[in-house]
Amino acid sequence: MIWKCANPDCSSSYVYLEGRLYRFPKQPIKHGRRANTHSVQHFWLCTDCCATNALEYDEGRGVALVRHLDWASAPEPSQFIAQA
């Protein structure tokens, strides 16, 4: 269950139908096997954080918080929030 914004610097509580909900695959399980197609992780960014940030998934690295301004200049994520 999602309780708060995925941005570690934000303490906003989850509000239904506000902000943006993201869905990414769960990390592989032991022996390199992938989790089944229904194994997903959910993350939510509040409305304020959505204005300047987004979440991206990089297989092998995880879920990253990326600033919108960073997309044009540098593809590196600003902060990883969950491992792959």
User: What confidence tens digit (pLDDT) does each residue in 2-23 have?
Assistant: 899 999 999 999 998 899 999 9
Task: Judge whether 2 lies within some domain.
Answer: no
pLDDT digits (tens, 9 = 90+) for 27-83: 666 566 665 656 788 999 999 999 999 999 887 788 899 987 655 555 555 667 776
Question: What are the angstrom distances between the C-alpha of 34 and each of 6, 55, 59?
Answer: 24, 21, 11
Task: Judge whether 1 lies within some domain.
Answer: no
pLDDT score of 65: 92
Specify the number of domains making up the chain: 1
Task: Judge whether 26 lies within some domain.
Answer: yes
pLDDT score of 76: 57
Task: Judge whether 15 lies within some domain.
Answer: no
Gyration radius of the chain's alpha carbons? 13
Structural domain containing residue 74: 20-83
